[in-house]
Chains A and B, each alone.
Chain A
Amino acid sequence: MREALLIARREYLERVRSKAFRISTVLIPLVFAAIFGMGALSGNLGGGVRHIVVASNDPVLADCTRIELLTTHEPNAGRKRDRSGQKVQLLVDVQAPVADSDLTELNSEVESKAIDGYLWLHVVPGEALPQATYVSRGSADFPGTDKMQSAIGAALVRETLMKRGVTSAAADGLLRDVELKTVRVKNGQSVASDTGKSFWGAYIMAFVLYFVVVFYGMNVAQSVVAEKTSRVFEVLLATARPESLMAGKLLGVGAAGLTQIAVWITAIFLLSASALGAELGQGGLAAYGITPLQLVFFVIYFLLGFFFYSALSAGFGATVSQESEVQQFSMVLVMPQLVGLVLMVYILGNPSAWPVVLLSLFPPCTPIVMCLRMSAMAVPWWQLALSLILMIAATYGVLWLASRIYRVGILMYGKRPTLPEMLRWLSYS
């Protein structure tokens, strides 16, 4: 035990003191911010004023579209804000009636950045719907395809209504969106939820699990091979048991991983407590849809997932003699977890479908899939308990298997062992 702790301490200090640790502690949240921020910010980048032109051969339709664009843009709940907290102002001009010859001029205005884009609505006599084209410099530009589509649709209705003698104010009343509240049932209580926000937490937890487990899993494999190639093992084995070596390594590396996660969670708390973060995450973790229970399970699943995959890594690392061979192993580490990430949307949408339940009980997939399910629903306690039991049993099995392979493998150099050879190792003393 003393040996294992000494080894764990060395492994922990070596990692926490390394440059790679400091860099990844800062870099990984930045990568997340980049990934998640991209979608949210893409419409608002640059902020300030957006100037677009609605051009049509039908002046009434063009005018109605302008009205609709400005109404749909009217921000509710402060969602469409840019990073400085300012509303993005939308400026819509109407140019009608226009002919095809005006296209060149509009194009050059877009190119010279005089306007951000123009919406070309061409009404063909005898056809119910106009041909609509939005031209801009970027591919996915503000105010967004969906917005424009619904604005044109509403504009057509408004035009028809007005043609039939309905007043503009009455048309406003008819075209107003119904406000939809979303509520979810959790632990027998209805909780008002913001669908967007509640899954933020799920995304973050799933990605953190994935990154950290893969990162530290590979790290374990690499350090086993490094100790093997530098022959440090020969010295260590003269006093320490191979089991202590492996346990010490996993504990040390796992503690480093936990430290990193703790830094991130603290940072989130501090950020949401500060004035700067007030806008981003009102109410701390709850704003991300993370309950304290989820946080506890997140740490438990991280630890189990880490030990499960790192034991595999340690066993694998012991069978190879060169660091370059470790790369082949990364697929084994990545694939089962990737299943959870790839199916993320499906899992969040159908958290109690039986394939999802089975997947969440399959140990290699449990950490990520369970964390996702917990964000989407209150997972029955027996499923949580069963997943923990299965995960602990599987982790124990992998640890046992890996330690048998490890104790023989770290003394073998040269050719990669075949599977039958490894199986024989299990019986060595």
Chain B
Amino acid sequence: MNIVELDRISKAYDTKIAVHELSLAIEAGQMFGLLGPNGAGKTSSIRMMIGITMPDSGTVTLFGQPFARKDLTRIGYLPEERGLYKKMKVIDQLVFMGQLHGLDATQAKTRAHQWCERLQILDAIDLKTEELSKGMQQKIQFIATLLHEPELIIMDEPFSGLDPVNTQLLQDALLELKNAGKAILFSTHRMDQVEKLCDSICLIDGGRAVLSGAMREVKSRYPRNHVVIDFEGDNSFVRHPAVAEFKEYAGRVEIQLKDGADAQALLRAAFERAKIYKFDLMEPSLEEIFIQTVGRRVHA
């Protein structure tokens, strides 16, 4: 069953079209990457998904039912900007957020303690938010999002401002939730994280989906035209007609092939002239796909 499904939703503000006929679906147990440059419409789309704003047209389906506010307690949302009450104690804050999502006070308190222990911030539980470091505030917010055990978790840039150790801690927590069958929507600029964590992606730009599908499938749509060769000897093969661009390092060259060029012909040419230790025909990274797709639209 699709946990959330957007069907051709559109939203316009005054003169600007924020989202145009966007469709996407996230299944249970899926980690979904919503990508796009700044101002592409990611936040606008998320806001329609959780009823902060209503789409001008199109439909939002949550848990197999048309959008209804009562389902919002089954969703956890971590906005990009951190929103915590500065003067409130951590534990009071977490209990308040839990109660807003339908928990009773004792339940919220117990779970808050468990989570704080797990994310190693138990000693901060009686401090006020303003006394905490940015990273700690982030963890508190992360806990506030998950306290009510939502089935759909929406996280906007969840790892920004965290050190590698804490990033790993939160990533592990998210992967565990995913394996427990929660649907996770994950919005970020960090392509390496998306590549590592997400099963499916949707890249939006100018309010439209420009690229979407399962990660493998999306990547396979892009030709493998990036080659790394470790070699010794004559390097004249870099002037082969299949080569569009190259960067040469000591004993290694990185080559960008022309569109539709045959990598095997290049391998043969290199093989004839130099001693080849490694010939790696690489798939494009998500970052390259992102820059290529969005960049092309900017130029068009």
Contacts and interface: CB of A to CB of B under 8 A. Distances in A.
Interface of A: 3, 6-7, 10, 14, 18, 226-227, 230-241, 411, 421, 424, 429
A368 B47 CA distance: 43
Given A6-B100, A231-B83, A238 B72 contact: yes
Interface stretch (B2-10, B85-93, B261-269): B85-93
Given A239-B73, A411-B52, A429-B54, A230 B84 contact: yes
Contact of B84 (A7, A232, A239, A429): A232
B87 A237 contact: no
Given A6-B99, A14-B85, 18 more contacts: A6-B100, A10-B96, A14-B88, A230-B83, A230-B84, A232-B85, A234-B77, A234-B79, A234-B83, A235-B84, A235-B144, A236-B83, A238-B75, A238-B77, A238-B79, A239-B72, A239-B73, A429-B53
A381 B50 CA distance: 50
Contact of B100 (A18, A230, A239): A239
B82 A231 contact: yes
Given A411-B52, A429-B54, A239 B83 contact: no
A231 B100 CA distance: 17
Contacts of A233: 83
B20 interface: no
B96 A235 contact: no
A232 B99 contact: no
B69 interface: yes
A237 B14 CA distance: 22
Given A6-B96, A6-B99, A6-B100, A237 B52 contact: yes
Contacts of A232: 83-85
Contacts of B54: 429
Nearest to A223: B85
B82 A238 contact: no
A234 B72 CA distance: 14
Interface in B130-177: 141, 144
Contacts of B97: 235
B81 interface: yes
B77 A424 contact: no
Interface of B: 14, 47, 50, 52-54, 69, 72-73, 75-77, 79, 81-88, 96-97, 99-101, 141, 144
Contacts of B87: 14, 18
Contacts of A411: 47, 52-53
Contacts of A238: 50, 52, 72, 75-77, 79
A246 to B, nearest CB: 15
Contacts of A231: 79, 81-83
Contacts of B79: 231, 234-235, 238
Contacts of B82: 230-231
B151 to A, nearest CB: 14
Nearest to A3: B100
Nearest to B100: A239
A245 B83 CA distance: 15
Nearest to B72: A239
A231 B79 CA distance: 8
